[in-house]
Structure 1
Amino acid sequence: MSGETVRSGPCVVVAGGGTAGHIEPALALADAVRRIRPDVRVIALGTERGLESKIVPARGYQLELIPPVPMPRKPSPELLRLPLKVRDAVRRTREVFERHGADVVVGFGGYVALPAYLAARGRVPIVVHEANARTGLANKVGARFAAAVAAAVPGSGLPGARVIGIPLRQSITTLDRAALRDEARRYFGLHPTAPCLLVVGGSQGARSINSAVSAAAGQFAAAGIGVLHAHGPKNTVAVQQVPYAPAYVPVPYLERMDLAYAAADAVLCRSGAMTVAEVSALGLPAVFVPLPHGNGEQALNANPVVDNGGGIIIADGELTAQRIGEQVIPILRDPERLAKMGAAAQSGGHREADVVLARMVLDLVRR
């Protein structure tokens, strides 16, 4: 973590802490920067409470901790203390920049990015990347004085943003689903040739998805469709297996997401920005069930893929076993439709986003 630094090559600071949706693109960029210029030093900003405290060191990058600056959602005493918290976080962030000799700061939104943008303003060039269809507060601020702005999809609301997609880790962008299919099916105990639906509701699962899909188990069996269902570590899904039908395999968590993607012919999932980017890059037909909370950004994330023909959307409140029988099962039983949807999804995907953003960053370093 913190300490004296021996400087060698140029230094890129990535600010994307808090959630996996901010951290994973930041680390995918870091990997791409190092592949292009191995002499570059990458420093990640984060907080003690964020997922980055575990993920970043495990991926081999140095993590510098700064005070968190969460934005209160409602008027409260915390709101009155916010200016002091911001000032302290900015001061600590500037110390990190000076200690490491930061040459460029790349922000991905969230409560780590805001102090980074304010600390870098007028001192260090800034690159902003917005993953969601609707831009968050931190990136709106950072984009005002950024040297370069990138977005995952058109219409993010950031003027002049270059649409590049979301940087994804190389284990996803180089995944050969067809080559791994047999191994993946054996790994999960799935039928070797039957159509297979992958079901994921996020890292913690989703009760509405779990209930609707498990209730349709008999329909899947009758249609000759296998299911790989990640229900979340705190949830359970009890499904009675039907003899002589493809297996319905419930698992708490998917340690091998690469094999899960390789085993699947289609996926039923939420439509967070990272999920949409991954399934699109891989050419997986998708049934998106947007999270019903928040500002509606999950539906917006899925719209470009759906408009392109690579997926469909079913509202969370409308996801039932009957709806699955009417809309999802026919897709899995139609190889030609699956192929067309997969091609459409992949045509709108961005497998090279990590390299494109890395070159934008390194161009500023060269300048």
Structure 2
Amino acid sequence: MCNAAKPWLYVKRSIGSAVAGTKKGQIPFERLPGPWALPVLGPINDAVRLGNPKTLHLTVSNYHRKFGPIFRIKISQANAVFIKDPEMMRSVFVYEGKYPKHPLPESWTYFNQKHKCKRGLFFMDDEEWFKYRKLLNPLMMRDTDWMVLPIQRMCEKAVQSLSEGVTKDNPSYEIQNIESTLYKWSIEVILCLMLGNSYNTTNMAKLNTLVNDFSRTVHTIFQYSSELMMIPPQLADCLQLSAWKKFERLVPETLALANKIIDISLDDIERGDGLLSKMQDCIASRDDIKRIFADLIIAAGDTTSFSMIWCFYLLGRHQILQDQIRSGIYENFKSPHPLVIGTVREALRMFPVAPFIGRILKKDAVIGEYSIPKHVML
């Protein structure tokens, strides 16, 4: 018999705690506007109200037009509040405290709990998160000049690979499987930042097969995780849905490939001047280094590659901008070109790969005029 939690029972959860503690002049949480839900439908409400995960940002935008700058909705078993007002957003950060807590994809967290899998920084909370974030901040945020050369090397390699089919006789060569190519490129950028000058031609060859397999599995795994966005993973597991079975099979494979890449980088490749070497100086545990890097490599896959695809799409429609950006980059690679910044911002605005920044309240808050209880997802 399946022991998964019965997610359809969440509709009976009382909202009483949401009203407790509301002070005079504050609007109670249950009076926040939002789309309707039928209790008898349970988790089916998510699909009805939120629609296709690929167009979630458009659905939320339509709700904002209907309900205003703040509205509430139940997603799976959690109360969620969506905000688009800048002042309200700033007030959220005031309440987040020393250890911000952000929502995580349910399919990943359920997998981690079920298989007792420890993960990297993205899945850490509270003091553990703060400890490693404090160690990584100086390496990744304060002095970033050292990152320019590794990124430039991988970009030049990718450009050379993409332009191999272009000749005088075939100037309009059509690139096939650009999504897969950019997946591999984004992962190789992280590896080059990780290994620094030791990520040379010889060592690239050592890792090439693993990197190809890894980029393929990561690419596939995010397709299944997006399918699981609209159904509680416990239910998907209980029903043994195809998307869950494939997701559950691919996650261990992906983590094993990531760990193997890092093991080879630590054991069979000379120590370079990259992030891996810097982390070895401040993090004693090899396992901690591996799980932090594994998540960094996994996270590099879809966000960076999809954003780059949309940038290519926008530039492909504006030849004049292509020429201006190309000449500007050749003149000065290190200084950000205004048109590059503008293209990236426009791509992220029109085709957002991560349209929401989420926080989970650890204490009761007042956002706008509304009393928001702790544990609500914003």
Which of the five TM-score ranges fits, normalised by the shorter chain? under 0.3
Structure 1 or 2: more strand by fraction: 1
- The higher-RCO structure (CA 8 Å, 6+ apart) is 2
* The structure with more radius of gyration: 2
Structure 1 or 2: more helix by fraction: 2
